[in-house]
Amino acid sequence: MIDDVLPDYLPLSFLNQFAYCPRRFWLMYVQGEMEINAPVLEGQIRHERAHTPGKQMDEQGRTLRSVHVWSDRLRVSGIADFVEERGGGLIPVEHKRGKMGKWLNDHIQLCAQALCLEERTSETIEYGEIFYWSNRRRERVVFDEALRAKTAEVVQLVFTLLLDAHMPQPLDHAAKCRDCSLEPICLPRETLLLMREESV
């Protein structure tokens, strides 16, 4: 970590990056790398509207936009795209560009938002939703004990990585690397090939 200082609070969005790929997290958070391609730009434009603070009312309740949330216990903070108040309960709603993938990174980011809200309100949040722009569908994410534990584990792993201060090795995962905007910077195939040659 720069100056060997851990952050007081981790940004929630970077939990998503770490859960997807620790090396991607390192490149973005520690080294400040960012590759703006068409999908990334589209996501940024769509999030501009979601990140405009405000609230709206309808017959089902109230929706808050761009809600600042944080957890002193986990030492994470960030912005929840939307928090809906329905039937006396809170439902965090995250907007994503693509569609529901096979990985848990989006779930972990959303669960961390819920844990922050629970800490601030002393309410139990049973589920949240992710709206995926590619199919314009909401996917419900249940905050069961397994997901809560995994989310807390990811937070701890991020702090451990920053304390260790060494860039993680690339993933050997063609599907994840293919969909990663930082693949041209990370060069996972080339790096892994060099590492194998050096170990011979």
Q: So where are the chain's domains?
A: 2-169
pLDDT at 73: 97
Please write the tens of the pLDDT for every residue from 117-154: 999 999 999 999 999 988 888 999 999 999 999 999 99
* Residue 41 confidence (pLDDT): 47
Dihedrals phi, psi of 58, to nearest 5 degrees = -145, -175
For residue 177, how far is the Cα from the chain centroid?
Answer: 17
What's the rounded mean pLDDT across residues 74-93? 95
Of the ranges 52-61, 92-101, 114-123, 141-150, which one carries the lowest mean pLDDT score? Answer: 52-61
Alpha-carbon distance values, 171 to 2, 22, 93, 174, 193 (Å): 23, 9, 29, 8, 12
CATH number of 2-169: 3.90.320.10
Q: Provide the residue type at 54 as one letter.
A: G
Tell me, what's the pLDDT at 123?
95
